[in-house]
Structure 1
Amino acid sequence: MLFSEVVETSAVVAATRSRLAKVAALAELVRRMTTSAVVSFLVGAPSQGRIGAGWRTVFDLAVPPAASPSLTVSDVDAALGAIASTSGKGSTARRTALLTDLFSRATEAEQDFLRRLLTGELRQGALEGVMLDAIARAADVPGEVVRRAFMLSGSLPETAVAAMTGEEALAAFRLEVGRPVRPMLASPAESLPDALAELGACVVEHKLDGARIQVHRSGDEVRIFTRTLREITGTVPELVALVRGLPCRSVVLDGETLALNDDGKPRPFQETMSRFGAQDVRELLLSPFFFDCLHVDGVDLLDEPLRVRLDALRAVAGSHVIPGVVAPTDDLAAEVLTESLDAGHEGVMVKALESVYAAGRRGRAWQKVKPVHTLDLVVLGVEWGSGRRKGLLSNLHLGARDPDGGPPIMVGKTFKGMTDELLAWQTRELMAIATEKSDWAVMVRPELVIEIELDGAQVSTRYPGGVALRFARVLRYRPDKDAGEADTIDTVRALLPRRAAVPDDTIG
């Protein structure tokens, strides 16, 4: 398959607002693909990951484009593999030479696609849901079967290859101890009473202000992953030792970890996250709290109801189970919420006891209750500060994710809630991913996720989504999330007063 076909399909998808049209275009290409790299390229995530060539290197290449398409998808995939494997003395020059050769064989449109692919500007992760629908359509198999296979494989290209083989190949995916599973996600609840009324028989648990982890143990071998399926085993030896000591032979647990003060209250989220990127063990210890058990001693529990998984969890994790109450009265559920907030946590999770473990789209079987509105948004740009903030990047441009795979949709700005330390860090980090610079502002690659506290949303003609944030304040950056996990424009619109409405054609 010619690489130009991927580039053309990407352009078609970017040019339409119709989810059905996006799915149709992607499905047509997936149906004809000869290598899984087609899927990798279309979702902006080549299988090689980072190839070792920086943003400046890629954009400084001045190579005359080819007159006509000749590159195949396999050619490009092989070239990226060769670049990624280049290391040692003189590797920078060799990578540049390989990139130059690749770009010399690419047309102008292909060069533009490659630049955006290699610098993370192809809406990385944002097309995941659309691509899953396209794979299901291309293979003529149920969407739920495809989503389950993706949950278990963690790989869109691998899922696509299996789907095109047949439904039996998708059904063959099983939970494999040591291979991370896509995490189940929660939806925001209007209130605790609303969540209790909607879900019926449920468990109400503390919602910790920590980092999501998934732990796998087989015998003495332990592996620990983040919510984005990145392995962090080597940086958290205290968690490895704890899991190795649990009363079982094999287990897969879902949970949170956080650093605690001497009084048992959580330390700042950034301190917990600092451990995940550490090269050396630090003195700051992490404490795990588990809320789900997906496998124990050879038995997979994904399809068992939560009440069964909780029994297994309590048997294996003991005192490390997250605090909560099963089937509480309304008054007792309210007490759990108060206890969680008093302990310095975010609120509570309310989960239906009959729910199975399902990843992918945020469902209603798990709901999160917080006393304030928060959103995870993408930083699109930032304006230079004035006065005391002169010389620092201050006023953030914030975007919500387009659930249909388009670029993030701007929903507001804020300069509130930032400490001097955060302003200095933000200036360094955002300048490193800048795409456009002026005396007024800096536009950046849409990849950093930031958690914003707000009082609600209002209808607005100022922004393309037809909605704007009210009194937005920065809480923290979320290095544990990528842009594909940011909240969608639909989530922002759900915060509008019930009488307010946003026309469907506001996204331009």
Structure 2
Amino acid sequence: MRFIDLAATSAAVKAISGRRAKIDLLAGALRDLAPDEVLAGSAYLAGELRQRQTGVGYASLRDLPPPAAEPTLTVAAVDAAIAEIAGLAGPGSQGRRRDLLGALFTAATADEQRLLVGLFSGELRQGAQAGLLADAVARAAGVPVAVVRRALLLAGDLKAVAVAALTGGEAALAGFALRVGRPLTPMLAQSAPSVDEAFGTVGAPAVVDVKLDGIRIQVHRSGTDVAVFTRSLDEITPRVPEVVAAVRALPVREVVLDGEAIALDATGRPRPFQETSSRAATRGARRAVTAQVKGAGRAKSGSPGAPATAGDEPAGSGPVGAGPTIAVAAGATTAASTGGGVALTPYFFDLLHLDGTDLLDAPGRDRWAALADAVAAPLLVGRTTVDSVEAAAAAFTAALDAGHEGVVVKAPDAPYEAGRRGAAWIKVKPRHTLDLVVLAVEWGSGRRQGWLSNLHLGARDPATGGFVMLGKTFKGLTDELLRWQTERFLGLAVERGDWVVTVRPEQVVEIAFDGVQRSTRYPGGVALRFARVVRYRDDKTAAQADTIDAVRAIHGG
């Protein structure tokens, strides 16, 4: 397939807003790919490169050669060129990479160069999300959409699913199954503004879980091999030796667990989320693996797909009000043994596989009963069953009193819908919060002179693939956060002015606010009232930020 034709499809998808029309365009392009081009071509249509690391930075894309007058590139040729660039290492690799990149862009037309820049920079905003592409793959291959989506959730890799569907059809897609060691996209929860609404959606009886403000973890164990993955499917096994030790101590042979890891103080109350997230990202923790969790390694089979983390939906046993206890399974490390940082304690709320049996399609009550049998109570998130709104509200209040984020109200008869944000799990927090993307930052004044301070906040626009600005805030920023964000956003800068620094839209930040008001100042027609920073969400990508539609829904239309 000519690369120019794929570039034209990308531009056309970006230019139209109708979902059906987008799917038609994407499906047409997928059909035109040769079998050996599907892997790379489906990645390009998803706005990404097949190669996760290329060594090509933003600065390399600033001074490009003049575009070619006529198209000569094919999808296969582009993929081969990028593979060669990504494979360079050692002395002289920087110069060789520069030459190869120049040759590729010299051979590309203006439209092809635009697509290449978007792919290398990760900023191809064409409105082709994973859901649209899954539908397009199904249409191009002539297979049921549900089969493609199921395979995608189990594989965690759209490219692999596209290859299977377009070369082997439904039979090949049936080969995707839960495999211990290969992470799958976690089930997510919808949000509700109140316990009453959440309980009304789920119905009685309902299960109420404490919602921890930790990092989401999915833990796979096969024999003594343990692998820990984040919400985005990144592997963090070396960074969390205490989690590895706790799961290795369980009386099971094979298991896949869903849960949270959180830093607690000496009284058992949650420490600030930044401490939890920074501990999970501490490289020094890797040294503790050898010392404290000797032999900890990856699960044998599978490899992580695309990246996820952080506190989303907990569960467990015991009274919700009490919250999780401090005790950790035998062998877990202490704060002193994790590279000098605070310890992370794992708590689990779901069980997806146990000793050769997949439990994804089992109702929650069965999964949770099996979980309680396999995992000791101190490692289970607080959970209670309620039959009334009053009981659910009492559980919510108790969770907040214990210092937790809120609760998740769950339907006990629902299966584990990997990758879905369905109505079976409803999270309730005591305030409005949104995960937004930082679009620009203003230099501070007075006490904040020399630091980047006031954040320009944007919500994701699914129709365009871009972002809609909702307002600014400098509230909720400690001196430590100001120092951190100054370094972070200067590293993301695409334009530095005397007053405003425009940045690549990559950093997600959780914003609390009191409400949404109509606004003529911002293009989305709405703005946040009394916005303030809660925390930075390094566990989320910009593609996972909240949408402008979610903001308008809070406003009431």
The answer, yes or no, to whether TM exceeds 0.5 is yes
Alignment-derived partner of residue 505 in structure 1: none
CA distance in 1, matches of 2:90, 2:375: 45
Alignment-derived partner of residue 31 in structure 1: 31
Asked if 1:394 is matched to 2:453, the reply is: yes
CA distance in 2, matches of 1:47, 1:270: 32
Cα contact 1:450–1:478 (8 A) shared by 2: yes
Alignment-derived partner of residue 135 in structure 1: 137
Question: What is the deviation of 1:328?
Answer: 4.5
Alignment-derived partner of residue 149 in structure 2: 147
For 1:453-500, what per-residue CA distance to the aligned partner results, in whole angstroms no more than 9, with x for missing partners?
A: 011212333333332212111111100111121112221112114xxx
Alignment-derived partner of residue 68 in structure 2: 66
- Residue 521 of structure 2 aligns with an amino acid whose one-letter code is R
For 1:343-388, what per-residue CA distance to the aligned partner results, in whole angstroms no more than 9, with x for missing partners?
A: 2110000111111111334211111001101101111112222232
Q: What are the within-5 Å matches in structure 2 for residues 204-215 of structure 1?
A: 204-215=208-219
Alignment-derived partner of residue 56 in structure 1: 59
Asked if 1:265 is matched to 2:269, the reply is: yes
The ranges of structure 1 where at least 4 consecutive aligned residues each deviate by more than 4 angstroms after the TM superposition are none
- Identity among equivalent positions (%) equals 56
Alignment-derived partner of residue 244 in structure 2: 240
Question: What is the deviation of 1:409?
Answer: 2.0
For 1:212-241, what per-residue CA distance to the aligned partner results, in whole angstroms no more than 9, with x for missing partners?
A: 010000111111100000001111111111
CA distance in 2, matches of 1:6, 1:275: 42
Change (3 A) 1:452 1:307: same
Question: What is the deviation of 1:277?
Answer: 2.4
CA distance in 1, matches of 2:61, 2:461: 27
CA distance in 1, matches of 2:162, 2:362: 26
SS class of match (1:494): helix
Cα contact 2:13–2:127 (8 A) shared by 1: no
Uncovered stretches (5+) of structure 1, i.e. residues with no partner: 502-508
- Residue 160 of structure 2 aligns with an amino acid whose one-letter code is E
Cα contact 1:124–1:484 (8 A) shared by 2: no
- TM-score, scaled relative to structure 2: 0.86
- Residue 272 of structure 1 aligns with an amino acid whose one-letter code is T
Asked if 1:192 is matched to 2:250, the reply is: no
Match of 2:376 among 318, 327, 351: 318
- Residue 338 of structure 1 aligns with an amino acid whose one-letter code is T
Alignment-derived partner of residue 15 in structure 2: 15
Cα contact 1:129–1:361 (8 A) shared by 2: no
Alignment-derived partner of residue 504 in structure 1: none
For 1:240-284, what per-residue CA distance to the aligned partner results, in whole angstroms no more than 9, with x for missing partners?
A: 111111111000011110111111111111111113322222232
Alignment-derived partner of residue 48 in structure 2: 45
Alignment-derived partner of residue 302 in structure 1: 360
SS class of match (1:468): strand
Alignment-derived partner of residue 186 in structure 2: 183
Question: What is the deviation of 1:41?
Answer: 1.3
Uncovered stretches (5+) of structure 2, i.e. residues with no partner: 286-338
The alignment yields a C-alpha RMSD, in angstroms, of: 1.7
Alignment-derived partner of residue 230 in structure 1: 234
Cα contact 2:263–2:343 (8 A) shared by 1: yes
Cα contact 1:257–1:286 (8 A) shared by 2: yes
Query: Higher mean Cα deviation, 248-257 or 452-461?
Result: 452-461
Alignment-derived partner of residue 111 in structure 1: 113
Alignment-derived partner of residue 321 in structure 2: none
Query: Higher mean Cα deviation, 413-422 or 472-481?
Result: 413-422
Query: Higher mean Cα deviation, 478-487 or 100-109?
Result: 100-109
Match of 2:522 among 459, 463, 466: 463
Cα contact 1:192–1:369 (8 A) shared by 2: yes
SS class of match (1:365): strand
Instruction: Tell me how many residue pairs correspond in the alignment.
Output: 497
Cα contact 2:14–2:127 (8 A) shared by 1: no
Alignment-derived partner of residue 3 in structure 1: 3
Query: Higher mean Cα deviation, 70-79 or 180-189?
Result: 70-79
Alignment-derived partner of residue 329 in structure 1: 388
CA distance in 2, matches of 1:360, 1:90: 43
CA distance in 1, matches of 2:344, 2:464: 36
CA distance in 2, matches of 1:275, 1:45: 29
Query: Higher mean Cα deviation, 410-419 or 306-315?
Result: 410-419
Query: Higher mean Cα deviation, 417-426 or 300-309?
Result: 417-426
Question: What is the deviation of 1:141?
Answer: 2.9
Question: What is the deviation of 1:50?
Answer: 2.2
Question: What is the deviation of 1:20?
Answer: 2.2
- Residue 357 of structure 1 aligns with an amino acid whose one-letter code is Y
Match of 1:478 among 522, 533, 537: 537
CA distance in 1, matches of 2:11, 2:140: 19
Q: What are the within-5 Å matches in structure 2 for residues 435-454 of structure 1?
A: 435-454=494-513
CA distance in 1, matches of 2:133, 2:460: 15
Cα contact 2:13–2:128 (8 A) shared by 1: no
SS class of match (2:422): coil
Alignment-derived partner of residue 80 in structure 1: 82
Change (3 A) 1:224 1:166: same
CA distance in 1, matches of 2:212, 2:50: 33
